[in-house]
Amino acid sequence: MKTRRGYSDLIPAVFFLLPGLVLFLLFFFGPMVYSLRISFFNWKIVHPDQSVFIGLRNYLRALSDPIFQRAVMNTSAYTVITVTVKLVLGLAVALLLNQTIPGRTFFRVAYYLPVITSWVIVSLLFEYMFNGQAGLINYFLKNILHLIPKNVLWFADPILTLVPIVLLDIWKGVGWAAIIFLAGMQSIPVELHEAARVDGANSGAQLRFVTLPLLRPTLVYLVVVLVIGGLNAYIPFQLMTNGGDPLDLTHSVLTLMYEATFSRIDFGYGAAISYLLTIFVFFISVIELRLMRRRVT
Amino acid sequence: MKSNRFILTFVSVLTLLILVLTACATPTTPPTTQAPAVPTNTQPPAPVIPTNTQPPPPTAVPTKMPTAAPVTIRYWHTHSDAEAAQLDKVIAAFEATNPGITIEPTRYAYSDFKTALLTAISSGDVPDVVRMDIVWVPEFANQGALVQLDGTLPDFETIISDVFPGPLATNKWNGHYYGLPLDTNTQVLLWNKSRFEAASIANPPATMDEFVQDACKLTDAANNQYGYAEGGTYFWAPAPIFYTMGGKVTDEGITTATGYINGPESVAVFTLLKDLNDRGCLSPNLLGGGIATDAGHAEGIYGMIIDGPWMVDIYKNNYPDFQVNFAPIPTGPNGTTSSVVGGEDVVILEGSKNQEAAMKWAAYLLSPDAQKMMAAVGQMPVLTTLIGDSSLPPYFAVFQEQLKTAQARVPHPRWSDMDNAINNAYQRILRGDQTVQVALDQAATEINALITGP
């Protein structure tokens, strides 16, 4: 077995990496650095040379902006709720799909189908379902179940608006979490379960002492990826709230960033918002990894 | 081992080469497409000019060669299918009378248009002529992206003397004109005749008092029927009632909103709307997430809505049996009617290398010929000389009459933010979070900050 490698081994590796690296530097890293620069300026898009350097003022403005604070709260609440529910439901679905049940392939496909549907189409579909005057949900709650005395205007209330958005993300995301969990479960050696059974463990104990501990790396991966995805929520917020309706109370961080940049042509402020989000995501991810990578046994 | 590594190196170098070569290929394509473009474009004039049956020019051609060199004008717009097809005919007519100028139209979706323009402007590779929403002109002019037309466009004074003042005003920023009105529109009252008959109302309301009475007569909340509906709380929705009742957002010189957006007339407007809302005569859909006004009106859910000339086409496709009925906006306390000006302006972008030809194209779009051709597909002309023209669709008449008194929204680069301030005030009023006066006082403070701000 080789333990040390000479530089000559690196050459092919470098050549293989180079195309991807060039694309990354050109289309990701370059624009990232450029937008970092923009975030320190009152940026003039037509005449960048006339842009005024204002230091951290865009950042301070964002931090003291009540609309930004509300957007952070919305995004955080959305992330916490959707990630938690998707993890719990995803695990439950994966456990079910891991059994030998009739029609297993059908259910695997059925749970995964929402994942591959278009965000735009299902966002509009949910908007129709939650229509305040003619929606299916109101009809169901009012005329069938008699839970509400009159129609609820879901999208007229800044809190209720989050209900369809959160439900949509859960509906659309459970299948993906389940498939990842399932892959993790199938990599657990059968011998461990057999050994546990020999030791007298029932299925509950097997889940607790064999499956869940060994799923820990999968869980870490899922939490990190789902949280990053949640904090970057954009399409359902944009489509269902028209970017912050009502009263700019329903923005996600990214819809606010988009509005500042492209509707109000305030590129510096938009860039500052996206960097604040980047910093936030970075620290959250580091904390998650620290917390969850403790004592991997 | 060694041969293995050799193969690896070989394959990786090959991959890289392919990538580099294919990457190089793209930049080289523009020159190759441009290179033949120049010779092929320089050659035609010689044969073209004689065929134009103009014997004298050949002698003038050699001296005029630099200015008469063939150019391509890039024209960006957001026309609909039918309009884009009609635009091709306008372009053909222009090119026939202006040999050497080729118009290259590019169509965008409205929602992507601002982003596309900003991308083009920041890259420096701009279209020459753009048809844009009238409320964007001050915003782009303030960024220095548009060519000032007064003093540069030939016959500017003559051209503007024939256009409606409202649409023209949308092109003015800091005392100069940065565009020309291209098509215009305004909003009028749409009334559902069968609903009116069912409520035993003979005619559409003529005054605001009648409007309020009718709205409540047409309301039957138990059956989900409302007398009046607005599409949302954004300024465009209540704007016709706002202007008719004498509301103002700022003073004429855009120096302050105090005493205007929170003045007695503006307060009266929102008090009326709040009153309609509280009595249940205004559909709650305007708060968000209800039945759209166009569908609701045709379905008989909304007795009256206020909307524009495009509704004819919308109903033609979606509700072919529905009879659209237009009426002027009911008159306000002082007996006059008004509405809000919408539409598009044509602008020339700073950075266009063919400004002379671009101006010819822009001016042609305002010619009676071009305006009439576009009117056939529902684009309302901006020329006063075309009022009553027999070739225009008959339903234009009510809109043209309304346009005489319609008002432009505040031509200011921060208009989007001002709109948002009024929108939020309207929301707080309807929700009962604030009284009309307090909400509008807050809007005035916010708009003042936008006027004086950076």
Q: Which CATH superfamily is domain B69-185+343-399 in?
A: Periplasmic binding protein-like II (3.40.190.10)
Q: Tell me which of A109-118, A189-198, B181-190, B321-330 is least confident.
A: A189-198
**Chain B interface disruption, residue of A46, A161, A249, A256, most B CBs within 10 A:** A46
The residue-averaged pLDDT of B256-261 equals: 96
Residues of chain A with pLDDT > 90, as a percent, come to 56
Model pLDDT, residue A78 = 96
In tens, the pLDDT along A24-73 reads 999 999 999 999 999 999 888 777 888 889 989 999 999 999 999 999 99
Q: Is the pLDDT of residue B66 over 50?
A: no
Model pLDDT, residue A242 = 84
Residues of A in contact with B122 (CB under 8 A): 45-46, 48
Give the global pTM.
Answer: 0.78
Residues of B in contact with A12 (CB under 8 A): 5, 8-9, 11-12
Cα(A140)–Cα(A135) distance, integer angstroms: 9
Point out which residues pair with B133 in neighbouring strands.
B344
Q: Tell me which of B64-73, B89-98, B176-185 is least confident.
A: B64-73
CB contact under 8 A, A156 and B454: no
The residue-averaged pLDDT of A221-242 equals: 92
Whether residue B449 lies within 8 A of chain A, CB to CB, comes out as no
- How is chain B split into domains, by residue range? 69-185+343-399, 188-339+414-452
More confident residue, A262 or B272: B272
Give a three-class secondary structure readout of A77-146.
HHHHHHHHHHHHHHHHHHHHHCCCCCCHHHHHHHHHHHHHCCHHHHHHHHHHHCCCCCCHHHHHHHHHCC
Q: Is the pLDDT of residue B227 over 50?
A: yes
Residues of A in contact with B15 (CB under 8 A): 15-16, 19
Q: Residue B311 in contact with residue B451, Cβ under 8 Å?
A: no
In tens, the pLDDT along A237-276 reads 999 988 888 888 999 999 999 989 887 788 999 999 999 9
CB within 8 A of B361, min separation 6: which ones?
Answer: B73, B75, B94, B101, B103, B128, B129
The residue-averaged pLDDT of B106-114 equals: 89
In tens, the pLDDT along B360-378 reads 999 999 999 999 999 888 8
Residues 399 through 418 of chain B touching chain A, CB cutoff 8 Å: 416-417
Cα(A285)–Cα(A291) distance, integer angstroms: 10
Model pLDDT, residue B28 = 33
Q: Is the pLDDT of residue B67 over 70?
A: no
Residues 422 through 441 of chain B touching chain A, CB cutoff 8 Å: 424, 427-428
Model pLDDT, residue B193 = 94
Model pLDDT, residue A165 = 95
Model pLDDT, residue B13 = 56
Which member of B9, B224, B288 has the closest CB to residue A155?
B288
Count the domains in chain A. 1
Q: Residue A233 in contact with residue A78, Cβ under 8 Å?
A: yes
Q: Is the pLDDT of residue B129 over 80?
A: yes
**Chain A interface disruption, residue of B426, B427, B433, most A CBs within 10 A:** B427
Angle at B267 (CA atoms; ends B264, B268), nearest 5 degrees: 85
Residues of chain B with pLDDT > 70, as a percent, come to 85
In tens, the pLDDT along B159-188 reads 888 898 888 888 988 889 999 999 999 999
Residues 201 through 230 of chain B touching chain A, CB cutoff 8 Å: 224
Which member of A44, A48, A132 has the closest CB to residue B289?
A132
The residue-averaged pLDDT of B289-306 equals: 93
Q: Is the pLDDT of residue B200 over 50?
A: yes
Model pLDDT, residue A92 = 93
**With 0-12 CB in 10 A as exposed, 13-18 as middle and 19+ as buried, what is B124?**
exposed
Model pLDDT, residue B5 = 63
Q: Is the pLDDT of residue A129 over 50?
A: yes
Q: Is the pLDDT of residue B15 over 70?
A: no
CB contact under 8 A, B122 and A265: no
| B6 to A13, A40, B2, B405: CA distances (angstroms) | 12, 49, 6, 81
Residues of B in contact with A42 (CB under 8 A): 454
Q: At what angle do helices B368-375 and B81-97 cross, to 10 degrees?
A: 160
Which member of B5, B232, B289 has the closest CB to residue A153?
B289
In tens, the pLDDT along A151-168 reads 889 999 999 999 999 999
With respect to residue A26, please indicate whether it lies within any of the assigned structural domains: no
Model pLDDT, residue B119 = 85
CB contact under 8 A, B289 and A130: yes
Residues of B in contact with A161 (CB under 8 A): 288-289
Q: Is the pLDDT of residue B2 over 80?
A: no
Provide the domain limits for residue A71.
59-292
Q: Specify the CATH number for the domain of residue A184.
A: 1.10.3720.10
Q: Is the pLDDT of residue B34 over 50?
A: no
Residues of B in contact with A153 (CB under 8 A): 284, 287-290
Q: Is the pLDDT of residue B56 over 50?
A: no
Residues of A in contact with B117 (CB under 8 A): none
Closest-CA residue in chain A for B224?
A133
Model pLDDT, residue A149 = 87
The residue-averaged pLDDT of B286-302 equals: 91
Closest-CA residue in chain A for B6?
A12
Q: Is the pLDDT of residue A122 over 60?
A: yes
Which residues from A are below 8 Å from B when comparing CB atoms? Answer: 8-9, 11-12, 15-16, 18-19, 42, 44-48, 127, 130-134, 153-156, 161, 245-248, 262-265
With respect to residue A16, please indicate whether it lies within any of the assigned structural domains: no
Q: Tell me which of B36-40, B110-114, B349-353 is least confident.
A: B36-40
Model pLDDT, residue B260 = 96
Residues of A in contact with B224 (CB under 8 A): 133
Q: Residue B382 in contact with residue B182, Cβ under 8 Å?
A: yes
Q: Is the pLDDT of residue B33 over 70?
A: no
**Both tokens of residue A125?**
């579909």
Among residues B168, B105, B79, the alpha carbon closest in space to that of B377 is found at B79
CB contact under 8 A, B121 and A46: yes
CB within 8 A of B19, min separation 6: which ones?
Answer: A19
Model pLDDT, residue A84 = 96
Model pLDDT, residue A262 = 83
Which member of B118, B232, B289 has the closest CB to residue A45?
B118
With respect to residue A113, please indicate whether it lies within any of the assigned structural domains: yes
CB contact under 8 A, B5 and A9: yes
With respect to residue A23, please indicate whether it lies within any of the assigned structural domains: no
Same fold, B69-185+343-399 and B188-339+414-452: yes
CB contact under 8 A, B284 and A155: no
Q: Residue A78 in contact with residue A230, Cβ under 8 Å?
A: yes
Amino acid at A148: I
Q: Residue A114 in contact with residue A100, Cβ under 8 Å?
A: no
Which member of B8, B139, B288 has the closest CB to residue A12?
B8
Average pLDDT over chain B reads 84
CATH class of B188-339+414-452: alpha beta
**With 0-12 CB in 10 A as exposed, 13-18 as middle and 19+ as buried, what is A291?**
exposed
Closest-CA residue in chain A for B113?
A262
Q: Is the pLDDT of residue B52 over 60?
A: no
Amino acid at A147: L
CB contact under 8 A, A19 and B224: no
The residue-averaged pLDDT of B10-28 equals: 49
Residues of A in contact with B284 (CB under 8 A): 132-133, 153, 156
Q: Is the pLDDT of residue A4 over 60?
A: no
User: B129-133 and B71-77 as β-strands: parallel, antiparallel, unpaired?
Assistant: parallel
Whether residue B119 lies within 8 A of chain A, CB to CB, comes out as no
CB contact under 8 A, B289 and A155: yes
Which member of A130, A134, A247 has the closest CB to residue B291?
A134
Model pLDDT, residue B59 = 38
Q: Is the pLDDT of residue A224 over 50?
A: yes
Please give the ipTM for the structure prediction: 0.77
Residues of A in contact with B417 (CB under 8 A): 264
Q: What are phi and psi of B66, to 5 degrees?
A: -60, -45
With respect to residue A247, please indicate whether it lies within any of the assigned structural domains: yes
**Both tokens of residue B387?**
């009022």
A47 HSE (CA, 13 A, CB side): 12
Residues of B in contact with A37 (CB under 8 A): none
Average pLDDT over chain A reads 89
